Structure 1
Amino acid sequence: MKTILVPIDFSEQSKYALNFAAQLAKKGNLQVHAINIIEGPQNHTFNTMGDGFANESEDYFFLKQLIDKTKENMNALLQSKAYSGIDVIGSVEVGNPYQSISKAIADHEADLVVMGSKGASGIDEVLIGSNTEKVVRFAKCPVVTIKSEVNLTGIKNIVLATNLEEDQTKLIQKLKEMQKITGAKLHLVKINTPNSFHTQRQMEEEFAKYIKEHGLGNIQTAIYNESSEEDGILFYAEDVKADLIAIGTHGRTGLLHLLSGSIAEDLVNHSQIPVWTLSRKG
């Protein structure tokens, strides 16, 4: 892992994300790219230390003022003592938030995205969605979503929820990097639901095969019975006092996504601890 991308909107949640990324950067000698996206029809990039704005027409006067003010805020944030000694770069862009983040992941060859999330519930969750959810669903690299201040040294237990059936080679490879940085114990859990039930003996054999195939260490396995996978993951995470939940997401779109939903995106909305995700399309 070399580069971490952090979308910044100056909310408390995005600052929590930047703080967590800074801790990772210090631990692994990584570079952090902080990006702010101003929603607009065009897409320009502005390094926080330069101008980069060529169009001086009257139509762009207000936008330029907004960009200048945002650059000032970004500079002030990144010059905080909390980020001294870290290779951190800030930029301001105009465009669609999700598209701009996706482009930044590719341009900077980001190995990890750390995003602040307020979560959603009820009708907001159904109708509105969020840029965070879109990034979680489609990002080409792992995404960590954060809702509160997180201390890297406090991550001692990571829950990995899996059905043990899909090819998760890339997911495991990436998650092992996070486990190495934190030194955390990995809790591999399969949620038994009424519609997808497996016996203890079946699962023990599958767990052994999975662990051997992926070369996992410092690990504990569990089968957890619950009415839904999401509740099972959340309740199990509470039981083992997990500090982070890891799960793959399918990256479904359209009708299939509306019908089947996404456990990963539900967890991003409802979990109070950080959620680490990687799309199968990643």
Structure 2
Amino acid sequence: MYHDVLIPTDGSDGTRRSIVHGLTIAERFDATVHALSVVPEGPLGTLESEEATPAAHRAVDHVAATAKRSGLEAVTAVDHGVPHEEILSYADEHGIDMIVMGTQGRTGLDRVLVGSVTERVVRMADVPIVTVRLTDDRRIETSEEAEAIARESLEESVTDSGDEAKTRDSYRISATWYVEFGTSSGPIQVQVDAVSGETRRSNVDE
């Protein structure tokens, strides 16, 4: 019934539940997941910063990685323009059967804009739309908390071998903290779920 499911994302905490719902639907119908992030431009957009485009790529990569862990095919795209127009255009061009998106984005002006984008997509789209509200409460609010949990998860494999893990970077995407450590055997990334506290470790290609 549904072959292609589109999940727009800006990487904010509010997208966590829409990603979960979107992947659940895709898994049920063995559908391809499309992750789209739009760097806003135009009258409804925020001013683009140097971090906007890399953040957009991280946001769609997060969805793709989560989808692939569930055995789903994933396609990613980062576009620039007026968000609701780009979402609708992508849906038309790629034969999207369903769009799953959150009703809340980042704080401040962007949070209002994301609600406005969702409203416009709901009114103008020709395919079914599933909207998901942010209801999860974050437990891990700061990068320091995330780093402590991530470092603890490395104790058996890194600390016991006498290798000292040094923090290289940390950031949060869709309520998941990504903490990267440098070790003598190469960089290691630990993902910490800001809601559940669960961790997942992977090597980083340089």
Inter-partner Cα distance in structure 1 for 2:127 and 2:118:
14
**How many Å separate the matches in 2 of 1:93 and 1:146?**
22
Aligned-residue offset at 1:86: 0.8
Decide whether the 8 Å contact of 2:19 with 2:63 is kept in 1: no
Q: What pairs up with 1:127-276 in 2 under 5 angstroms? A: 130-148=116-134
Q: For residue 12 of structure 1, what is the aligned residue in structure 2?
A: 13
C-alpha separation in 2, matches of 1:104 and 1:83: 24
Total equivalences in the alignment: 122
**1:25–1:103 Cα change, 3 Å:** same
Match of 1:22 in 2: 23
Identity %: 25
Choose the corresponding residue for 1:107, options 93, 97, 100.
93
Shift of 1:18: 1.4
Superposition RMSD on alpha carbons, in Å? Answer: 2.8
- Structure 2 partner of 1:67: 53
Alpha-carbon distance between aligned partners in 1 of 2:74 and 2:100, rounded to the nearest angstrom? 14
What is the match of residue 162 of structure 2?
Answer: none
2:39 corresponds to which residue?
A: 38
TM-superposed CA distance for 1:147, in Å, is 0.9
For 2:67 and 2:82, locate their aligned partners in 1 and report how far apart those are by CA, in whole Å: 31
1:10-34, Cα deviation, whole Å (9 max, x unpaired): 1233221111111111111101111
| Letter aligned with residue 96 of structure 1 | V
1:74 positional shift: 2.8
Gaps of 5+ in 1: 42-61, 120-127, 151-282
* TM, length-normalised to structure 2: 0.52
SS for the counterpart of 1:74 is helix
Q: Is the 8 A contact 2:27 2:70 kept in 1?
A: no
Residue 76 (structure 1) shift:
3.8
Partner of 2:174: none
* Equivalent AA in structure 2 for residue 136 of structure 1: V
In structure 2, the CA distance between the partners of 1:147 and 1:67, relative to structure 1 (3 Å rule), is same
Q: Which structure 2 segments of 5+ residues have no match?
A: 43-47, 106-113, 137-206
Secondary structure class of the residue paired with 2:19: helix
**Larger C-alpha radius of gyration, 1 or 2?**
1
Bigger fraction of residues in helix: 1
TM-score of the pair, normalised by structure 1: 0.39
CA apart distance, 1:39:
0.7
